[in-house]
Amino acid sequence: MSGDHDLGYKQLFAHPELVRDLLAGFTPFACFRGLAPAAFARVSASYVSDRFSERHGDMVWRVRVADHFVYVYLLLEFQSQAERWMALRMQVYVGLLYQDLVKRHELGPRLALPPVLPVVFYSGNRPWTACAELRELVAAGPSELDAFQASQRYVLIDKQSLDMDRIGQSRNLVAELFRLELSDRADNLIDALATLAAWLSGDGQAPLRRSITSWITRLLQREGHEATEEEIKSLLEGRIMGERFVRKYATWADAYKDEGRQLGLAQGREEGREEVREESLAKNRNLLKGLLAKRFGGVPAAIAERIDEAPEADIERWMYRLMDVGSMEDVIAD
């Protein structure tokens, strides 16, 4: 799946869980890893007046990191191509944020300004080519003036350039959403939906589940699938599982397979196809063990061994049964 239209990322990143997962999984900064959602607080960005508001969204989060507050300026860029002056815009936005904090007397000890991390989340299809540092936009001059030139930088998360292997290794909510949107493989669609259903099954997850339901519905509709929000809601709440799940969502999987054939993605020698099937089966076995651990706790060695030896048909049957039974043993019962 791919596309350069906004799917409602601003609605998604209004949830602290997803902002945390974005920063922890897709930026290099270790300070954001392991934080609880309670460490994130949304801050008003009403002081920013931008005539491009229809093409991007801005939000500011204050993050408690150990004994410090860090401000994250997250800019959601929905244009189809890079913006040359992004580093300059970030310089202005960070300055406005600092001015607002001074005005509202929200400074730290000794009236120090807090650190700010500017992040650009880009969802366009064309490669992002804009420089990430303002200094690169400034013409060369006498070398003795270099130290006085603005040098604002930002972190870029370019959705289309993300590596699928890295996404697969980042086991968090944002990674599963990226996997849904960016992968052309049917098994990734089914796996990601099943994983999201397990993670969002708690009663306290209702607001986040609603936002993700809306996002997935828009994604599937954009790709030409006849999905309704009620169907996606039923799936994420565990009310569409088992044979009903197979009948409904197999049509989407078939559509991906047909598209893959047209693009030549399914061509190759028989041994190549067999290797792909084995790789897919191994991933599904690992996914099932992860979902079992998520719902019931650690997976005993005997059950893990049985899963590792089970054929594809059993893995699929157990996956669909996961949300309908009350124990790990019942999931893999014959």
DSSP secondary structure string for all residues of 303-333:
HHHHHHH--HHHHHHHHHHGGG-SSHHHHT-
Who has greater pLDDT, 272 or 106? 106
Q: What angle do CA 189, 193, 195 make, to 5 degrees?
A: 120
34 and 152 in a single domain? The answer is: yes
In three-state secondary structure terms, 237 is coil
155 and 226 in a single domain? The answer is: no
- Whether residue 328 is contained in a domain is answered as yes
Where does a domain end: 234, 267, 300?
267
Residues 244-267 have a mean pLDDT of 49
Residue 29 predicted with pLDDT over 90 = yes
pLDDT score recorded for residue 79:
66
Pairing of strands 68-77, 155-158: unpaired
Q: What angle do CA 213, 219, 223 make, to 5 degrees?
A: 145
Task: Give me 285's structure tokens.
Answer: 């076995």
pLDDT score recorded for residue 284:
78
Distances (CA, A) of 321 to 81, 312, 314: 44, 14, 10
Residue 262 predicted with pLDDT over 60 = no
Task: Give me 297's structure tokens.
Answer: 């706790």
Who has greater pLDDT, 52 or 152? 152
257 and 285 in a single domain? The answer is: no
Who has greater pLDDT, 246 or 160? 160
259 and 281 in a single domain? The answer is: no
Residues 26-39 have a mean pLDDT of 92
The number of residues in the chain equals: 334
- Whether residue 2 is contained in a domain is answered as no
**How many domains does the chain fold into?**
3
242 and 318 in a single domain? The answer is: no
* Percent of all residues in the chain with a pLDDT value above 70, rounded to a whole number: 77
User: What pLDDT digit, counting tens, does each position of 39-93 carry?
Assistant: 999 988 776 654 444 445 688 999 999 888 898 988 877 666 788 999 999 999 9
Task: Give me 201's structure tokens.
Answer: 């099954």
Task: Give me 20's structure tokens.
Answer: 């945390």
157 and 13 in a single domain? The answer is: yes
Nearest to 36 by CA among 27, 24, 47: 24
Residue 252 predicted with pLDDT over 50 = yes
Residue 190 predicted with pLDDT over 80 = no
Q: What angle do CA 306, 294, 207 make, to 5 degrees?
A: 145
Measure the N-to-C terminal CA separation of the chain; round to a whole number of Å.
36
Residue 37 predicted with pLDDT over 80 = yes
| Residue-number span of the structural domain to which 192 is assigned | 184-267
Residues 156-161 have a mean pLDDT of 89
261 and 196 in a single domain? The answer is: yes
314 and 226 in a single domain? The answer is: no
Output the pTM of the full model: 0.71
263 and 306 in a single domain? The answer is: no
